[in-house]
Amino acid sequence: MKLVFQFGSQPDLSRAELTSRFPELAAGHLVAGRFFIVDCSESPAWLMEQLGGVVKILEVVEGISKKPDEMIVHLADHILKQTTEKPKVVYGVSIINAPELKGVGIALKRAIQEQSERSVRVVVSRDPELSSATVTLEGLLPPRGVELVFLKDSSQIVAAQTVAVQAFGEWSERDYGRPGRDAKRGMLPPKLAKMMLNIALGAREPSSVSVYDPFCGSGTVLIEAALLGATRLFGSDILKQAVDDTKLSLEWTRKQFNLTDVNFDVFKHDATQAAAHMKRESADVIVAETFLGRPLKKGESLSAGEKQELVTLYNRALKSLGAVLKSDGRIVLAIPFQVAPRELLPLHEILEGTGFTVDPILNDAGLKTILYMRPDQRTGRQIVRLLRGV
Ligand SMILES: C[S@@+](CC[C@H](N)C(=O)[O-])C[C@H]1O[C@@H](n2cnc3c(N)ncnc32)[C@H](O)[C@@H]1O
């Protein structure tokens, strides 16, 4: 089947996540900057659980005619066949890049009424696109209802049906509902943590890897690793409070999601010291959001000296982490950067003498690293993947 992965607000990172974890999907192509069309035989519901950066997965409706009238008749029939749960037919339409299809929702209603006696409800929105929340709340997944998404791919129209939607309620529960949160220390959005983990894992089976976060804070990375299926988790932080918070978060996750196989070892440790607590080459992947520096007041930025201190901290941490990582392991870091005026920390200095080199994240787009930022934030994160080499 042909699937369309609809990426969230960071499409480059979402594509890097998808094609790192599932390299066989790299052959797909991108439409309108955030819809990735590819042949795929995996279950969409399972794929959705694995990924942090995909908001919807659609399945292309095959065999539709290029003639608009025939296309509408075919799709009306498709909607009728998919909505089997209730007598009423419920559907919604999203239109991407194809303003000429504005009236398609109403045309479908007429065609459905010509083919069937069932009553019809069309879910409308002010935007040309229905959100994942609307799709879920209005029940627009078969057999209850249908969302059809029309996408213009060069000159051709692709019609696809939504088959999986990101579980926004569960993400929010993990983000805000768990214990041990500490926003002051800085917390990684859980979706970003999952994307980083998938970028680090590559094609490795999550249940067979050990994951280490040497700047664990309140444990966001390790929670997402546990939910992906990793059972050997290590975390450390220089602050005892962070260690306690991470333990609390992981206990909560284990209970909440019934993850009886998960084992974790969380300890107080300075990431720049040789990782005495852990055996040599015991981590398959290291994923971390590094220390961001002191919290900033409005309009303030770190001084040149403070930025240099961060560079030195990361450099020394990487030198020590070399002993803990397996020889074919990967490190994925979220390194802070100043959004405006844009100023990245010097990566060559961070890597100097560490034995690590950048493993480009999205080679086909010429992106060695990817910048993650939210519109209202002054500090963004540069996502970097490292492997051993000079
Ligand atoms: C940005 S926070 C990480 C937050 C974490 N990703 C989360 O979502 O909860 C960075 C953490 O690095 C810790 N830290 C600072 N210097 C450190 C060092 N030298 N060694 C280990 N941890 C350190 C801080 O205590 C802080 O908890």
58 lines ligand 1 (CB under 6 A): no
CA distance 239 to 50: 31
Taking the CA of residue 313 as reference, the ligand 1 atom at the shortest distance is 19
336 lines ligand 1 (CB under 6 A): no
Residue among 174, 195, 238, 269 whose CB has most ligand 1 atoms within 8 A, to mutate: 238
**Which CATH architecture does the domain made up of 2-166 adopt?**
2-Layer Sandwich (3.30)
Q: Which residues pair with 387 in a beta bridge?
A: 357
Q: What CATH number is given for 180-388 in this structure?
A: 3.40.50.150
Question: What is the pLDDT, as a whole number, of residue 295?
Answer: 84
329 lines ligand 1 (CB under 6 A): no
Question: What is the pLDDT, as a whole number, of residue 199?
Answer: 98
240 C-alpha vs ligand 1 centroid, how far in Å? 11
Residue among 185, 268, 382 whose CB has most ligand 1 atoms within 8 A, to mutate: 185
334: CB partners within 8 A, 6+ apart = 188, 192, 196, 288, 289, 290, 372, 381, 382, 383
Question: What is the pLDDT, as a whole number, of residue 241?
Answer: 95
pTM: 0.95
CA 51, 144, 59, 367 torsion: positive or negative?
negative
14 C-alpha vs ligand 1 centroid, how far in Å? 25
188 lines ligand 1 (CB under 6 A): yes
Domain with CATH 3.30.2130 in the chain: 2-166
309 lines ligand 1 (CB under 6 A): no
Domain with CATH 3.40.50.150 in the chain: 180-388
Phi and psi torsions of 312, nearest 5°: -65, -40
Question: What is the pLDDT, as a whole number, of residue 274?
Answer: 66
218 lines ligand 1 (CB under 6 A): yes
Residue whose CA is at the smallest distance from ligand 1 atom 4? 217
How confident is the prediction along the chain (390 residues), in pLDDT tens digits per residue? 999 999 999 999 999 999 999 999 999 999 999 999 999 999 999 999 999 999 999 999 988 877 888 999 999 999 999 999 999 999 999 999 898 888 899 999 999 999 999 999 999 888 889 999 999 999 999 999 999 999 998 878 999 999 999 998 888 888 887 887 777 777 899 999 999 999 999 999 999 999 999 999 999 999 999 999 999 999 999 999 999 999 999 999 999 999 999 999 999 999 998 667 888 999 999 999 999 998 888 888 899 999 999 999 999 999 999 999 999 999 999 999 999 889 999 999 999 999 999 999 998 888 999 999 987 888 999 999 999 986
Q: Are 220 and 227 in contact (CB under 8 A)?
A: no
Quick one: DSSP state of residue 297?
Answer: P
230 lines ligand 1 (CB under 6 A): no
224 lines ligand 1 (CB under 6 A): no
